[in-house]
A and B are shown apart, each in its own frame.
Chain A
Amino acid sequence: MTKSILLVGVGGQGTILASKILTNGLMEAGYDVKMSEIHGMSQRGGSVSSQVRYGEKVMSPVIEKGQADIIVSFEKMEALRALDYLKKDGTLVVNDVEIPSMSVITGDETYPDDVLDEIKKHVSARVVDATGLARELGNEKASNIILLGTLIKAMGLTAIDWDTILEANIKPKFLELNKKALQVGMDAVQ
């Protein structure tokens, strides 16, 4: 049975590295894997997404609306935007972070203060303060790997040797930080 994972966020939040590590781990574990991203204009502060599908034999690299088993959102508004893609009984992991878009900065739109409430009305979301946890580890930029850890735990993929995968994909200077971040992310969900 093919599983569908959607990672969403804002350009520059590190979704691409997280999905790279995830897909390499899945491939090493023997799954067929397909991953799809849209680059280009969206990198300039726009919404970004990585779609990952794995299973015995994967056909489409693209997730259908209403068919994602899990969505990991690196930002609150992007979680709401991505709800169209979640299965009715799917899992939502959301980073408790608010990044104003340009329309908010210039005052053309207001970032609503009840985004998480709106999400929780419809799905049981797991809210993770990944940015805060990463700050405790000494580097805010590790929040992407914390969220990856949460995703790995939620999808029951902890048996894969993630340390080896991290070693192959992360610069030695940041390796220990990211190994810790992955564990922190796994521990963040029960």
Chain B
Amino acid sequence: MKKLLTGDEAIARGAYEAGVSYASAYPGTPSTEILENLAEYKEIYAEWAPNEKVAMESAIGASIAGLRSMVSMKHVGMNVAADPMFTWAYMGVNGGNVIVTADEPGMFSSQNEQDNRNYAKAAKIAMLEPSDSQECIDMVKAAYELGEEFDTPFIIRLTTRVCHSKTIVELKDRKDVPHKEWTKNPAKYVCLPAIARNLKVKLLERMKKLEAYSETTPFNRIEMGDTSVGVIASGICYYYAKEIFGDKASYLKLGFTNPLPAGLIKDFCSRVDKVYVLEENDPYIEEFVRQQGCACIGKDLFPSMGELTPDVIRACITGKPNETIEFDRTKLIGRAPTFCAGCPHRGLFYRLGKRKDIMISGDIGCYTLAAGKPYQAMDSTVCMGASFSLGAGAQRAFHMEGVDRRVVTVLGDSTFFHTGINSLINTVYNKANTVNIILDNRITGMTGHQDNPGTGYTAKGEETTLIKIEDIVRAIGVKHVYVINPNNLQEVDDTLDKCLALDEPSVIITRWPCALKKFSKEDREEFTELFVTRDKVDPDKCIGCKKCLKAGCPAMSYVAETKKVVINRAQCVGCDVCAQVCPKQAIGKED
């Protein structure tokens, strides 16, 4: 049966067809939908882990115990998972194990553009790079067969365009894979130095065998056409190259990219007049081609950042960009993403942004949008969980310099569970008197509403123990813990004042669900007033001062003809933040 699948859906389908039984992940664009789709198959046990390191370790455990397992993550997630991954490479698998990394050339939803092919090389793990959804299925299935044959985990490296492009695939049946038996085998699975030294020898031998395999695998293939131009490409760049050159070039399509096939590359380069290496981000293939003594054109012509889409490649080769329709660009207005109407982050950041004498240490999530107008309430963002610890360091530095500046840190509920907990332990242990805010919107928001340890539900939708953030915070030793409603601006102000006056660490938990969340029965019990009302502007009282608009709600707009503000009924969910901002009490509930 034919179907249009995204790369992410196809990775999950490939895992299903390959007989995978166990999967774990932490959400992260553009990889999130892989586990969401894996969880749809009743034959696969799938779970959300609190972070990528935990997901990786769980998948390693399942493999050692005898199941085919998968772990998926966005590119920066591999930084978190790298510790177990590097040693896992030494051990080799029992049940096959595939590690999916979704890289983001172009940084559509990411804080950096790292090229995770370098991880495969550094960790000595075999790697496949699919170019479309059918290859996602085929390569996942091959990775389990080859991984068990060569005794290695596999990395499958995707990019956003492969993850989020739909192409046609052929669906096949699931393979019935007998579970492998677990037997005690410390010489393989206990990485003590003496054992690891033996395993390193085996790892190096395995890489030699994989080098030989890379020369003959059908995933690395030469397609001869016109020999005046030769293109070496992997992943989506293969199709970009075909788009531009068609049959006016020859191709070396690389799908098995660690280890790379030295012989095949030398052979290909000898058969064409000039070689382009087309790859996004780092010159991963290019450097290898040059090491083989082959001349090529790579990053000297093509950019080292952003996507290498066909128009980018064409402009590099022809020296001029595609012709486009000229128009008056001064007519364009920006359309940056914003907090949704009813977003529980709005009230907090509206008030926090008013305090100009503090430093605000931020984190990764929807709330990073508070860095922009109208809030301008974020001074740093690095990675998941960094807000607390970066803030602690900055606060200590201000004290040491004698600077009278307080640090307020902010992160979300899922980010707290991810790596925020460790950082809060540091804050308490090392006596940083930061004000730490946990934005508990009852879900993992930015990636599209995945459950987390605080929601009471698993990836499969089963009820589970709900871990209360305030319990953890108190157990860590924070003495000043406040749980507040962020839509109540007076409560926000009062609590901030109280905490900023302390010489000890404090935690403020702003507890209100994401406006887009599909509310659970527990949500409806706890938040009885949950978005059941709407606000409206009384035109007789509105003086058109536009102060309410500075709260940044997309449901509100100013009407020039009437010189009044109106609220869009279709968007408003009655959070009342605007009503508290209005100096004339012109905003109230609809009747």
Using CB atoms and an 8 Å cutoff, list the residues of chain A in contact with chain B.
Answer: 10-11, 23-24, 27, 32-47, 58-62, 64-67, 77-78, 80-81, 83-86, 88, 100-112, 114-115, 118-119, 121-123, 140
Contact = CB atoms under 8 A, between A and B. Distances in A.
A64 B369 CA distance: 29
B338 interface: yes
Contacts of A119: 327
A122 B166 contact: no
A110 B164 CA distance: 33
Contacts of B322: 64-67
Contacts, number: 180
Contact of A105 (B161, B340, B552): B552
Interface in B321-361: 321-328, 331-340
B161 A61 contact: yes
B311 interface: yes
B274 interface: no
A34 B166 contact: yes
A114 B166 CA distance: 36
17 contacts: A27-B168, A36-B164, A39-B164, A41-B29, A44-B366, A46-B335, A60-B242, A65-B324, A81-B332, A86-B325, A88-B325, A103-B336, A105-B552, A105-B557, A107-B558, A112-B333, A140-B570
Contacts of A114: 331
Given A77-B333, A102-B552, 13 more contacts: A24-B4, A27-B168, A38-B164, A39-B30, A39-B164, A46-B335, A61-B166, A64-B314, A85-B324, A102-B336, A105-B554, A106-B552, A123-B325
Closest 3 A/B residue pairs (Cβ): A40-B109, A46-B337, A44-B337
A107 B549 contact: yes
B309 interface: yes
B309 A66 contact: no
Contact of A80 (B242, B331, B546): B331
A66 B552 CA distance: 35
A37 B333 contact: no
A119 B332 CA distance: 11
Given A59-B242, A108-B373, A34 B337 contact: no
A105 B168 contact: no
B240 A62 contact: yes
B257 interface: no
A38 B108 contact: yes
Contacts of B240: 59-60, 62
B452 interface: no
Given A34-B165, A80-B331, A84-B324, A60 B310 contact: yes
A41 B243 contact: no
Contacts of A23: 4, 166
B333 A104 contact: yes
A111 B243 contact: no
Given A44-B339, A45-B338, A59-B239, A106 B168 contact: no
A66 B556 contact: no
Contacts of A77: 332-333, 335
A190 B570 CA distance: 32
Contact of B311 (A42, A64, A102, A118): A64
Residue of B2, B166, B242, B311 with most chain A CB atoms under a 10 A cut-off: B166
Contacts of B338: 44-46, 101-102
Given A45-B337, A66-B322, A83 B327 contact: yes
B221 to A, nearest CB: 16
A77 B331 CA distance: 9
A37 B369 CA distance: 21
A11 B516 CA distance: 13
A44 B368 CA distance: 12
Given A10-B335, A32-B168, A64-B314, A122 B30 contact: no
A65 B311 contact: yes
A115 B550 CA distance: 25
B446 interface: yes
A33 B333 contact: no
Identify the interface centre among B311, B373, B374: most chain A CB within 10 Å of its CB: B311
Given A41-B446, A66-B324, A122-B325, A46 B336 contact: yes
Given A60-B243, A77-B333, A107-B549, A37 B164 contact: yes
Contact of B108 (A40, A64, A80): A40
A42 B323 contact: no
A178 B242 CA distance: 38
